[in-house]
Structure 1
Amino acid sequence: MTTAVALESLEAPLIDSHCHIVFRNFDDDLEEVAQRWRDAGVGRLLHACVEPSEIPAIRALADRFPELRYSVGVHPLDPEHWAADTQEVLRQAAKADSRVVAIGELGLDLFRTKDLGPQLAMLRPQLDLAVELDLPVIIHCRDAAEPMLEELRERTLRGVCPRGVMHCWSGTPEEMQGFLELGLYISFSGNVTFPKATDTHACAQSVPADRYLVETDCPFLAPVPRRGKRNEPSYVMAVAQRLSELRGEPLTVVAQQSTRNACTLFGAALHNV
């Protein structure tokens, strides 16, 4: 089934549940990019935030594109953007705009650094803020499933673990099961289309129907056959198509289910797509 044929049968618009179109490599053609995501049947975008200085520009994008919702947060590899007042900055930004539907992207990353201390110092107040504001979290977790599970399990025992999603999933089925047991969702991006991503394929096949999302994480991780090029929200269709193949389900089912799941997790601001 080609994407063009599949689009004709879609009954629910897709939601790209994680993108970064604020990046400068979209400056020259963002209107054309927007037309392509609309033509592809993408009804909502969730724009992730990686550091507080992005927030005004992301808010301006939400003004420009009414289908866009966004998060506020600090990426685990950006400790230079965390200061004594950052939690309060994020709190006020989230409370000021109903289009803020999540805290993040936050998390842990041991791929580029082995120093967990600064990352935990940013992670914990953001998790606290999500609980306080009753917002889900968008979790970046790379080569750090064990410490992330430890942190979230301890919080679950204390009743202070927010709901959320493991974005751009690339872990093992065993790691996925640990996060599912904590009530988290699993989001698949362009890497699920990579031929050698066997663990990700296995996770896509076994994740419960009511617990998966689709995303691009653009401009990163463009799906096959555009791998290595700039990614964009319209390409979320390729992610959904690959999930439908791996799960042996029609594309319409994956589109409807992933959209339903995103609306369940992120709330009323993503409904009516």
Structure 2
Amino acid sequence: MTVNTTSAVATALPALVDSHCHVVFSAFEPDLDAVAQRWRDAGVVSLLHACVEPSQIAPIRALADRFPELRYSVGVHPLDSQSWDAGTQSVLRQAALDDERVVAIGELGLDLFRDSNLQSQLLVLGPQLDLAVELDLPVIIHCRDAAAPMLQELRQRQAKGRCPRGVMHCWGGTPQEMEAFLELGLYISFSGTVTFAKAFDTHLCAQQVPADRYLVETDCPFLAPVPRRGKRNEPAFVASVANRVAELRGETLEQVAADSTANAVRLFGLPGPSALNSV
């Protein structure tokens, strides 16, 4: 019933991928089935659920059992570095090997906006980047006020042939920083911030990013796009993100949906829209 409704609606709407969400959070406990129906009605054919620390792995896996369009990552967020210990890399490795629905390592990265413990964050970042290379999985990179040290880390790895592919999630940097990450082979993902009136750098980046190198996401329950700013975000609202990117690029929503979905399928090894619609 629900699956048939999804297929019927998705054929009439541009197929979208929410490439970064957090529906495991308690904000969704009261109405997750209704949230899922809304994302399906909005044409969202796949979601990539990001993980911020190891205790989330089992609950996210349960969500993947519940919603067949959901894939997920395993990793430790830079602001959750206290959850890292000597056995964490092994835990992440085993979780990735145990479930083919694990399609990325992360959300990992650096955050010097909310914390200043750069060295501690680097100690957590390095083993996760190593694991991504070992398992040949892309990374989901959180980078806030930390472009310079992140670029230094990735460039050093690139020089050694040890830089994984991946995506700069919830992009908020400058066009110059974007170009540097693109040169490393990374993708750029736009969230609800692209709809904010004063996000001028993000607007420029959305206009300038190559068509084959960007994704769209919600990062829900955070950063709801205009006109829902300040309220709980949810995967269905990725359509608003895609629509704003289309406006900025002077393209149709259908074109942006086609490009961003194809890019997400390629980067994360997702089933194509037709296969996702048939699950």
Q: Same fold (TM over 0.5)?
A: yes
Following the alignment from structure 1 to structure 2, what is the Cα–Cα distance between the partners of residues 57 and 205? 37
- The yes-or-no answer on 1:31 pairing with 2:28 is no
What is the 5 A alignment of 1:166-177? Answer: 166-177=168-179
Structure 1 vs Structure 2: percent identity of aligned residues?
73
Hey, what's the Cα distance between the residues in 1 that align with 2:258 and 2:190? Answer: 15
Paired residue for 2:5? none
Post-superposition CA distance 1:70-107 (Å, at most 9, x none) = 00000001111101000000000000000000000000
Q: 1:13 aligns with which of 15, 30, 36?
A: 15
Q: What TM-score, normalized to structure 2?
A: 0.94
CA–CA distance in 2 between the matches of 1:179 and 1:249? 24
Give me the CA root mean square deviation: 1.1
Alignment match, 1:164: 166
Deviation at residue 121 of structure 1 after TM alignment: 0.3
Q: Partner amino acid for 1:19? A: C
- Tell me the number of residue pairs that the alignment of Structure 1 and Structure 2 aligns: 266
Match among 100, 105, 119 for residue 117 of structure 1: 119
Render the CA deviation track for 1:24-72: whole Å, top value 9, x for unaligned.
0100000000000000000000000000000000000000000000000
Residues 70 and 101 of structure 1 are in contact (CA less than 8 Å); yes or no, is this contact kept in structure 2? yes
> Are the aligned partners of 2:74 and 2:105 in contact in 1 as well (CA < 8 Å)?
yes
Tell me how far 1:115 sits from its aligned partner.
1.7
Q: 2:109 aligns with which of 82, 107, 110?
A: 107
Which position in structure 1 is the counterpart of 2:98? 96
Q: Where does structure 1 lack aligned partners over 5 or more consecutive residues?
A: 1-6
CA contact (8 A) 2:189 2:214 kept: yes
2:198 to 196, 199, 204: 196
Hey, what does 1:3 align to over in structure 2? none
In structure 2, C-alpha distance between the alignment counterparts of 1:240 and 1:84, rounded to whole Å: 40
Name the TM-score, length of structure 1 as normaliser. Answer: 0.96
Contact kept, 8 Å, 2:72 with 2:102, in 1: the verdict is yes
Deviation beyond 6 Å, 4+ runs, structure 1: none
Aligned pairs for 1:182-221 within 5 A: 182-221=184-223
Where does 1:47-196 land on structure 2 (aligned, <5 Å)?
47-196=49-198
CA distance, structure 2, for counterparts of residue 266 and residue 33 of structure 1: 23
How far the C-alpha of 1:9 sits from its partner, in A, is: 5.9
| Aligned-partner Cα distance in 2 for 1:75–1:212 | 22
CA contact (8 A) 2:264 2:270 kept: no
Contact 1:44-1:270 at 8 Å conserved across structures: no
In structure 2, distance between residues paired with 1:200 and 1:248: 15
Matched with 1:240 is 242
